[in-house]
A = this chain, B = another copy of it.
């Protein structure tokens, strides 16, 4: 059957430029964006996929509740890092994707790909971490699968989790609902997850280790919903960091998102580590940070509900369609675009 596909005629990616998959195709930047937009989304074409949100929202029958459904595979390297491990990440990452759909996370699946030779103790520790994270996020891991691949054909352990949640918001949440005049809120300091991983990989020593911000985000989202905030869009700031999330939203909403870079919180040790490695914290991955885009009238209340570290970092207007700009501390503006390739491979 597959023989009948004339690849040279039909593959919509520029094969001459990229005949093979590159690490950058998984980075959350332009390369990944192109791969997904040109090769995957048009093939699997359906309205749910085309919302380009962190998950799909649907009813399984016409009278039933709205359900959110999402998936992520975790290939983080190293498996253990300050503030968490691949197990905590695998639970919190999928819990957070459900929360970003305005859903209460309920049930997770767990699919393991183990490499032959993985120490059983490592698997045991990771499984314990998953359950601890599931308890903290009030979700149950209800179904699973275990595969083993030959030594040298994997890298210790990869974990896929998919999640199902109950959507509790009335209005739709997603890029299409963002409106001019909306305010962009951020729940805390950025860049810690990415720099925690990079510090371990690069052997950087600081006075105290940078810990990942890995955390479940369902509670602050629940407070926003129960507090009656009109939520237009939610997005967690994983691969590609704050900037990539903003660019994706701006492009899909066809609006201009503007942030003041000086009010985006970055801890001193994270900023120092970024400088050593030549990285921009606005692009570094987080695992416990999200933005909420809400009408201006709800912004103050929303900040209070998200928590003490929440800040308003910018706003939405129609000045430029599909563009993100940042104002630096000295008042100059720059256009913020996605990175083209790879900044931090295998960060989640």
Q: A residues within 8 Å of B by Cβ?
A: 1-2, 5, 7, 10-11, 13, 15, 18-27, 32, 35-36, 39-40, 43-44, 46, 48-49, 55-56, 58, 60-61, 64-65, 67, 69-75, 80, 84-85, 88, 106-107, 109-121, 123-125, 127-132, 134, 140-150, 152-155, 158, 160, 162, 164-166, 345-346
Contact = CB atoms under 8 A, between A and B. Distances in A.
Contacts of A107: 48, 56, 58, 69
A65 B61 contact: yes
Contact of A125 (B7, B67, B155, B160): B7
A110 B71 contact: yes
Sort A-B residue pairs by CB-CB distance and give the 6 closest, nearest first.
A26-B148, A162-B162, A71-B109, A56-B142, A160-B160, A153-B155
Given A36-B146, A39-B127, A128-B43, A73 B121 contact: no
Contacts of A70: 109, 143
B114 A21 contact: yes
The listed residue with most B CB atoms (<10 A of its CB), out of A15, A118, A124, A345, is A124
Contacts of A24: 148
User: What number of copies of this chain does the assembly contain?
Assistant: 2
B160 A111 contact: yes
Contact of A25 (B39, B84, B114): B114
Contacts of A74: 147
A117 B127 CA distance: 31
A148 B113 contact: no
A122 to B, nearest CB: 9
Contacts of A61: 65, 166
